[in-house]
């Protein structure tokens, strides 16, 4: 089992997403530590990118704030190294193929391993093109996380059989952002995944309340939340980590 599997060893996992450098990297570090202290099982770190196609307006704005503040990929790697002095939970990057290509795929993925990143989520790389990155990820022991969406349909089993780390199940069509209801038949999708793999499944996109998190964790192995946390960063800025800690505790209590 990869290091990511540890996040799911003690019941249902809660996974917060944080955009690195919003509003600055010091606040990111404090937010990560507050989340871990309050029960986060795995941290998903977003590397800022100018055209984050999977993101709704809340996380798009966070990317722009971070980029405007001068956040570069090398500084994000330095942040991870500093976090790894005391943060032991698994951490994964969520970013886009352009970020990896422009850095150099082998250099990027080998630096992930050296800095302490356990996995990589690239939402703009379809299953059929993952071999551009998969051999390098395996070479350095970084899990390439597969996404399964409501539109995956007859490809669900195929994606699940080759998945590593955990499966990111997208709750609904569209981009990230909080939602009031979910119409996708997630039970049946999780059922197909379970028939094809034993690795954990966590559901993300649109989850913001404890009730929603519990509902998603009831049908899967965990819940992923991004936009609701980014809204706290947008509202409170440098004072956000304390609010994020309280929010994570409430969400983790809900999924237990």
What is the model's pLDDT at position 173? 59
Q: Give the range among 5-14, 45-54, 146-155, 201-210 with minimum mean pLDDT.
A: 45-54
When comparing pLDDT for 178 and 169, which is higher? 169
Q: Is the pLDDT of residue 178 over 80?
A: no
**Residue 37 — pLDDT band, cuts 50, 70, 90?**
very high
In this model, does residue 156 exceed pLDDT 90? yes
- Give me the chain's average pLDDT, please: 93
Cα dihedral: 125, 68, 89, 87 (round 10): 150
Residue 20 in this model has a pLDDT that exceeds 50:
yes
Instruction: Give the architecture (CATH level 2) of 3-146+207-255.
Output: Alpha-Beta Barrel (3.20)
Alpha carbon distance 185, 189 (integer Å): 7
How confident is the model over 142-163, as a mean pLDDT? 94
pLDDT, residue 172, reads 72
The tens digit of pLDDT for each residue in 74-96 reads 999 999 999 999 999 999 999 99
**41 near 13, Cβ under 8 Å?**
yes
In the predicted model, is pLDDT for residue 107 greater than 50?
yes
* pLDDT given for residue 177 in this prediction: 45
pLDDT at 171 over 80: yes
**In the predicted model, is pLDDT for residue 179 greater than 70?**
no
Number of Cβ within a 10 Å radius of residue 51:
10
Q: Which residues contact 172 (CB under 8 A, 6 or more apart)?
A: 150, 179, 182, 183, 184, 205, 206
Report the alpha-carbon angle 126-129-133, nearest 5: 110
Confidence (pLDDT) at 54: 65
As a whole number of angstroms, the distance between CA 141 and CA 119 comes to: 8
Q: Which tens digit of pLDDT belongs to each residue from 190-248?
A: 999 999 999 999 999 889 999 999 999 999 999 999 999 999 999 999 999 999 999 99
pTM: predicted TM-score of the whole model, two decimal places: 0.93
Give the 3-state DSSP-derived string for 42-62, with helices as H, strands as E and coil as C: CEEEECCCCCCCCCCHHHHHH
Confidence of residue 56 (pLDDT cuts 50, 70, 90): confident
How far, CA to CA in Å, does 116 sit from each of 14, 69, 75, 129?
20, 24, 14, 25
Residue 181 confidence (pLDDT): 52
Quote the tokens at residue 251: 């969400």
* More confident: 53 or 121: 121
pLDDT in tens, 129-145: 999 999 999 999 999 99
Give the residue extent of every domain in the chain.
3-146+207-255
Distance CA 16, CA 130 (A): 25
């Amino acid at each position: 089992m990869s290091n990511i599997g540890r996040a799911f060893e003690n019941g249902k996992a809660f996974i917060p997403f944080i955009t690195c450098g919003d509003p600055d990297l010091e606040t990111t570090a404090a937010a990560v530590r507050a989340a871990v202290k309050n029960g986060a099982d795995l941290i998903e770190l977003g590397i800022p990118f100018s055209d984050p196609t999977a993101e709704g307006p809340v996380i798009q704005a966070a990317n722009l704030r971070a980029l405007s503040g001068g956040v570069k990929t090398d500084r994000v790697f330095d942040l991870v190294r500093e976090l790894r002095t005391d943060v032991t939970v698994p951490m994964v990057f969520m970013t886009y193929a352009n970020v990896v290509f422009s850095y150099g795929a082998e250099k990027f993925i080998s630096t992930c391993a050296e800095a302490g990143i356990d996995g990589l989520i690239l939402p703009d790389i379809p299953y059929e093109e993952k071999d551009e990155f998969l051999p390098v990820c395996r070479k350095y022991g970084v899990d390439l996380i597969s996404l399964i969406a409501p539109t995956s349909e007859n490809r669900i089993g195929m994606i699940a059989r080759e998945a590593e780390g955990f499966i990111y199940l997208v709750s609904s069509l569209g981009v990230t952002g909080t939602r009031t209801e979910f119409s996708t038949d997630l039970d049946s999708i999780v059922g197909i995944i379970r028939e094809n793999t034993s690795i954990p499944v966590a559901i993300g996109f649109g989850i913001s309340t404890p009730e929603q998190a519990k509902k998603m964790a009831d049908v899967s192995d965990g819940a992923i939340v991004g936009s609701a946390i980014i809204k706290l960063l947008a509202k409170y800025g440098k004072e956000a980590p304390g609010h994020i800690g309280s929010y994570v505790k409430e969400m983790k209590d809900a999924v237990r």
